[in-house]
Amino acid sequence: MIHEHQSSVIAQSAYSDGMIFLTFFNSGQTYRYDGTPLRVHEGLLSASSIGRYFSQHIRDQFTGVIASMPDFLNTETPEFKIDDPNHPVINWGLW
């Protein structure tokens, strides 16, 4: 899920599989920080100053690379019924 922030530094953040995605207000650019524990993103979400938290816990500890905010992070996990024709059940077989 993408989190919107009331910060002068970071507009959005998201976390997925050891990666934090941050979109910055000044450039509008999104960066991906690999190898980040979930607790780092949780700390960002609960910080009284998101910009200060970023400076102290992310910027110099993890390498950021320009990325795009993944589309799959833009929504919550969908709920659907097994008999819903708009969301068919996938039979994965015996791969």
pLDDT tens digit sequence for 6-31: 899 999 999 998 999 999 988 889 99
Side chain identity at 7, as an amino acid letter?
S
Bigger pLDDT: 81 vs 35: 35
The reported pLDDT for the residue numbered 1 is 84
Give the HSE-up count for residue 91: Cα atoms under 13 Å, Cβ half-sphere: 1
- Under DSSP, the state recorded for 78 is P
Higher pLDDT, 74 or 47: 47
- The reported pLDDT for the residue numbered 9 is 92
Tokens at 59, concatenated: 């910027």
Question: HSE (CB half, 13 Å, CA atoms) of 71?
Answer: 0
Q: Give the model confidence (pLDDT) of 57-74 as tens digits.
A: 999 999 999 988 776 656
The CA-CA-CA angle for residues 38, 60, 53, to 5°, reads 55
Report the pLDDT value the prediction gives residue 85, as an integer from 0 to 100: 52
pTM over 0.75: no
Alpha carbons 60 and 56: distance in angstroms, whole number: 7
